[in-house]
């Protein structure tokens, strides 16, 4: 009498439940701590819907999501692109979508991957714990959707669209990188929203007071008030609080985009880890079931085929190459950590003295909890893995005629490679450093942004378009200065022309 949960490849709801409970049992064995799961079976069309709202189950209406939808639909219908097997949402309960077209082994893979892998990552990684509140996100999205709709009814679709367009252009600059935010709570949000409108206006009026202050005695008058006193990196926050001409509802829209962008901030920083963790666990959990004799060889063959495709890393010269595959890198790193713990070589003992030979499960949980992509790679990428991936680093100087290979997978190159790769995942390197340095509050009310150039990299060509959007929100002149050290390279103004210095 066989022990198999199923031998067929067609799924039923009863079988899904059975697989889910088996996987949950094994996950608990490995101490995976998760939010409750809400597994939703959807059709391919619904999957396309979910795709185009950037994975938000509820979103306010905006043309850019329509554009996304049309692109997805076209790609799918022409067969250029398959749909993802799953989408999972960082919420409590954790919502995961399964596509009805999937076979049973695929559904089991997705349950293990999303409902136990991603889910436990969402619940435990420090960035997610710091930046997002899984319990209230759905409520907040509902609040946002309704608020945007109300604004459209009251002020017109075009007005609302204009503000949202502008905010979207700045959405990566709506996060405090260094300060811990307060979690968003929808109920509170709604209650405080009206209150906020009034208070905000009062503060603004104070800031932008044009009446002379009571005493204009020499010293104070000479010294120009500097505002903001410190450079501000959260552009949307600054606009929300200080833009002179915005209506209260427009400030609220800025806030909505900012809050949602903040919700996605951890995901942008943990792609390798998050996918790697989920992939590691679907692999480990399903293999565990196989070892227990719960699934048969056919099941494993199908599962392994998909798994192998997911973690395939084409070389740089392959036509399929499109950057480093986060699934491949992440999965292999977690596997490698386990190997270092269980079966370390001398090299591993030298490079990882504190984890070699330790309990692998403890180490893995530690690695998942307290790192982001950048630090994770910096900390755990082993020489063996660099050799396996045949990694090499290219130095590209605009001024030189050649690319130079500046490190390869050998003894002298390991550290350098690891550092370079880690930097590649550092958001503060990936995105230009732009801060608000000055607002001319007593003069023409213009706002000045300062771009601090890194490694001589200029801003992208459509930066001026973004300035237009900032101008729309701010209402007065916007200047953007590019600095390399203490040398100003370029100054753009909107509305105006740009000047090369």
Partner 1 sequence: MSYIIDRRLNGKNKSMVNRQRFLRRYRGHIKDAVQDAVNRRSITDMDRGEQISIPTKNTHEPRIGHGQGGRQHRVYPGNKEFNTGDELEKPQGGGGGQGSGQASNQGEGEEDFTFAITREEFLNYLFDDLALPNMVKQSLARTKNFKTRRAGFVSEGTPNNLSVVKSMRNAHARRIGMGAGKRRKLKELEAALADAENRGDSGAVATLKADIADLERRLKKIPFLDDIDLRYRNQVKVPVPTSKAVMFCLMDVSGSMTQDVKDMAKRFYLLLYLFLERNYEQIEIVFIRHHTSAKEVTEEEFFYSRETGGTIVSSALKLMNEIVKSRYDENEWNIYAAQASDGDNWDDDSPQCAEILRNELLPVVQYFSYIEITPHNHQALWEAYQQVGSEFKKNFAMAQIRGPEDIFPVFRELFSKEQYEEAI
- In this chain, which of 208, 227, 312, 316 binds partner 1, going by CB under 8 A? 316
Q: 425-444: which residues touch partner 1 (CB under 8 A)?
A: 430-432, 434
Q: 158-177: which residues touch partner 1 (CB under 8 A)?
A: 161, 165, 168-170, 172-173
**Which x/- pattern, by CB under 8 A, does the window 83-122 give for partner 1?**
----------x---x--x--------------x-------
b/e per residue 183-221 (b: at least 16 CB within 10 A): bbebeebeeeeeebeeebeeebeeeeeeeeeeeeeeeee
- Taking the C-alpha atoms of residue 290 and residue 298, their distance in angstroms, rounded to an integer, is 11
- Two structure tokens written together for 358: 């330790």
In sequence order, the 6+-apart residues with CB closer than 8 A to the CB of 335 are: 280
Q: Is 318 in the site for partner 1 (CB under 8 A)?
A: yes
- In this chain, which of 413, 435, 447, 492 binds partner 1, going by CB under 8 A? 413
CB of 160 to partner 1, least distance (A): 11
How far are the Cα atoms of 99, 310, 332, 392 from residue 373, in angstroms, in the given order?
A: 29, 19, 14, 19
Q: Is 315 in the site for partner 1 (CB under 8 A)?
A: yes
In sequence order, the 6+-apart residues with CB closer than 8 A to the CB of 249 are: 151, 154, 155, 197
- In this chain, which of 402, 444, 485, 499 binds partner 1, going by CB under 8 A? 402
- In this chain, which of 409, 471, 479, 490 binds partner 1, going by CB under 8 A? 409
Note whether 227 and 122 are within 8 A (CB).
Answer: no
Q: Is 424 in the site for partner 1 (CB under 8 A)?
A: yes
Three-state DSSP state, 499: strand
Note whether 42 and 99 are within 8 A (CB).
Answer: yes
Q: 13-42: which residues touch partner 1 (CB under 8 A)?
A: 13, 16-17, 20-21, 24, 36-42
Three-state DSSP state, 97: strand
Three-state DSSP state, 289: helix
Note whether 486 and 467 are within 8 A (CB).
Answer: no
- Taking the C-alpha atoms of residue 287 and residue 302, their distance in angstroms, rounded to an integer, is 13
- In this chain, which of 29, 31, 150, 390 binds partner 1, going by CB under 8 A? 390
**Given CA atoms 137, 138, 143, 148 in this order, what sign does their dihedral have?**
positive
- In this chain, which of 394, 428, 488, 496 binds partner 1, going by CB under 8 A? 394
Q: Is 81 in the site for partner 1 (CB under 8 A)?
A: no
Q: Is 201 in the site for partner 1 (CB under 8 A)?
A: no
- In this chain, which of 202, 210, 309, 322 binds partner 1, going by CB under 8 A? 322
Q: 45-74: which residues touch partner 1 (CB under 8 A)?
A: 45-46, 48-49, 52-53, 61-71, 73-74
Q: For partner 1, give the closer residue by CB, 90 or 363.
A: 90
Q: Is 312 in the site for partner 1 (CB under 8 A)?
A: no
Stretch that binds partner 1, among 11-19, 271-279, 358-366, 440-448 (CB under 8 A): 11-19
How many chain residues touch partner 1 (CB under 8 A)? 100
CB of 210 to partner 1, least distance (A): 32
């Amino acid at each position: 009498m066989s022990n198999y949960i199923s031998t067929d490849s067609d799924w039923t709801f009863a079988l899904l439940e059975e697989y889910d409970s088996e996987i949950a049992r094994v996950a608990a064995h490995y101490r995976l701590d998760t939010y409750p799961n809400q597994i939703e079976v959807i059709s391919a069309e619904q999957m396309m819907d979910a795709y185009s709202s950037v994975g938000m189950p509820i979103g306010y209406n905006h043309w850019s999501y329509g554009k996304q939808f049309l692109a997805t639909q076209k790609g799918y219908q022409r067969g250029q692109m398959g749909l993802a097997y799953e989408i999972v949402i960082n919420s409590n309960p954790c919502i995961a979508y399964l596509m009805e077209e999937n076979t049973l082994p695929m559904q089991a893979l997705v349950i293990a991957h999303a409902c136990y892998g991603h889910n436990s990552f969402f619940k435990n990684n420090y960035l997610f714990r710091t930046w997002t509140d899984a319990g209230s996100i759905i409520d907040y999205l509902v609040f946002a959707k309704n608020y945007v709709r109300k604004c459209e009814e009251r002020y017109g679709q075009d007005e609302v669209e204009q503000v949202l367009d502008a905010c979207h252009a700045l959405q990566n600059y709506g996060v405090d990188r260094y300060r811990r935010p307060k979690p968003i709570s929808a109920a509170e949000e709604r209650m405080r929203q009206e209150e906020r409108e009034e208070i905000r206006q009062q503060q603004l009026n104070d800031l932008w007071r044009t009446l002379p202050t009571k005493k204009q005695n020499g010293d104070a008058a000479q010294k120009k008030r500097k505002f903001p006193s410190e450079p501000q990196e959260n552009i949307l926050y600054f606009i929300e609080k200080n833009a002179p001409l915005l209506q209260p509802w427009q400030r609220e829209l800025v806030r909505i985009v900012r809050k949602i962008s903040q919700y996605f901030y951890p995901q942008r920083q943990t792609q390798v880890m998050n996918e790697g963790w989920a992939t590691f666990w679907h692999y480990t959990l399903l293999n565990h079931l196989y070892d227990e004799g719960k699934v048969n060889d056919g099941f494993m063959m199908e599962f392994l085929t998909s798994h192998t495709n997911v973690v395939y890393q084409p070389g740089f010269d392959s036509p399929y190459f499109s950057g480093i595959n986060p699934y491949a890198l992440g999965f292999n790193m977690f596997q490698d950590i386990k190997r270092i713990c269980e079966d370390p070589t001398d090299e591993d003992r030298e490079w990882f003295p504190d984890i070699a030979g330790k309990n692998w499960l403890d180490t893995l949980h530690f690695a998942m909890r307290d790192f982001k992509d950048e630090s994770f790679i910096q900390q755990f990428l082993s020489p063996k893995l660099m050799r396996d991936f045949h990694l090499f680093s290219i130095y590209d100087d605009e001024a030189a005629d050649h690319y130079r290979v500046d490190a390869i997978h050998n003894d002298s190159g390991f550290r350098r490679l690891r550092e370079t790769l880690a930097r590649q995942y550092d958001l503060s390197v990936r995105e230009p450093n732009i801060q608000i340095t000055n607002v001319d509050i007593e003069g023409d009310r213009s706002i000045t942004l300062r771009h601090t150039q890194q490694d001589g990299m200029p801003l992208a060509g459509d930066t001026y378009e973004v300035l237009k959007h900032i101008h729309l929100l701010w209402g007065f002149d916007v200047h953007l200065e590019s600095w390399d050290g203490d040398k100003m390279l370029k100054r753009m103004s909107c509305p105006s022309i740009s000047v090369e210095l």
